[in-house]
């Protein structure tokens, strides 16, 4: 069901869970999450759950998308944003509506191609795609005001830190298969300070590309 009522129910739930940014809530409200899912699952698009998108990957839970986006948006500029793990492109679409330019890297080619099509279809043009292992970031396009990783490494890839602009923030789940610490790292000159925001569960950040 894609009715306004089911979408509003999701918004209420996000607010109850502590999402305050009206900008983030408005973008989630107006983004059609169902178009990123296979038809068989699209009736569940406005439930606050992660769902399968094929290749053993998932579309992130709306609460986690909102939480990560809010953490970046409320802490500094969002002109140039790097995303590692395009997946189905839902998080990409949220970022693209809140920033000038999004650079997104995905290691699984068919997922990347599908995401590219859908994002074009819904009219978002400020996104550049790269099919690669994103552990090394995307150095040619950096530096970035914000970097978001939507798959979990065991420890923070140092290269991502190097691609942050001064004042830039990295949001990334860190840890093993089950529970990871959602970590916000802020760059100030050559100093990096980090803060754990939440416990989350993402698919692992893997090496190499498919």
Q: Is residue 70 at the binding interface for ligand SAH, with CB under 6 A as the rule? A: no
Residue from the set 67, 72, 80, 91 that interacts with ligand SAH by CB under 6 A: 91
The 3-state DSSP class for residue 94 equals: helix
Closer CB to ligand SAH, residue 56 or residue 193?
56
Stretch that binds ligand SAH, among 70-78, 100-108, 158-166, 169-177 (CB under 6 A): 100-108
Only one of the segments 9-17, 27-35, 53-61, 183-191 lies at the binding site for ligand SAH (rule: CB under 6 A); that segment is 53-61
Burial of 105 (0-12, 13-18, 19+ CB in 10 A): buried
Residue placing its CB nearer to ligand SAH in the complex, 19 or 108: 108
Catalytically annotated residue among 3, 21, 30, 60:
60
Q: What secondary structure does DSSP assign to 125-187, as a single string?
A: -SEEEEES-GGG--GGG--EEEEEE-SB-SS--HHHHHTEEEEEEEEEEESSSS-EEEEEEEE
Give whichever of 151 and 184 is closer to ligand SAH, judged by the CB atom: 151
DSSP-derived letter for residue 60 is P
Tell me the two tokens of residue 71.
């953490």
Catalytic residue list contains 21: no
Give the three-class secondary structure for 40: helix
The reply on whether position 108 binds ligand SAH by CB under 6 A is yes
Residues in a beta bridge with 170: 147, 185
Q: Does 69 bind ligand SAH (CB under 6 A)?
A: no
Among 27, 33, 57, 185, binds ligand SAH (CB under 6 A): 57
Burial class (CB in 10 A: 0-12, 13-18, 19+), 12: exposed
The b/e string for 167-189 (b: 16+ C-beta within 10 A; e otherwise) is ebbbbbbbbeeeebbbbbbbbee
Residue 207 near residue 135 (C-beta atoms within 8 A): yes
State the nearest-atom distance from the C-beta of 166 to ligand SAH, in Å: 25
Among 102, 146, 174, 205, the residue binding ligand SAH under the rule CB under 6 A is: 205
138-167: contacts with ligand SAH (CB under 6 A):
150-151
Q: Which residues are catalytic?
A: 60
Interface contacts to ligand SAH, rule CB under 6 A: 57-60, 84-85, 87-88, 90-91, 105-108, 111, 133-135, 150-151, 203, 205-206
């Amino acid at each position: 069901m894609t009715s306004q009522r089911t979408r509003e129910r999701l918004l209420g739930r996000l607010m109850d869970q502590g999402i305050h940014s009206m900008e983030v809530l408005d973008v989630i409200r107006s983004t059609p999450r169902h178009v990123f899912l296979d038809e068989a699952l699209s009736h569940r698009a406005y439930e606050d759950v992660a769902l399968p998108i094929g290749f053993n990957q998932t579309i992130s839970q709306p609460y986690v998308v909102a939480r990560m986006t809010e953490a970046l948006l409320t802490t500094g500029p969002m002109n140039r944003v790097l995303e590692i793990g395009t997946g189905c492109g839902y998080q990409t679409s949220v970022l693209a509506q809140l920033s000038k330019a999004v650079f997104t890297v995905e290691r699984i080619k068919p997922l990347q191609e599908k995401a590219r099509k859908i994002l074009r279809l819904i009219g978002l043009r400020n996104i550049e795609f790269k099919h690669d292992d994103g552990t090394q970031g995307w150095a040619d396009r950096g530096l970035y005001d914000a970097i978001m990783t939507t798959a979990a490494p065991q420890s923070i890839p140092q290269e991502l830190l190097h691609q942050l602009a001064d004042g830039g923030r990295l949001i990334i789940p860190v840890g093993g298969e089950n529970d990871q610490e959602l970590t916000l790292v802020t760059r100030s000159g050559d100093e990096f300070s980090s803060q754990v925001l939440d416990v989350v569960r993402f698919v692992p950040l893997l090496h190499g590309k498919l």
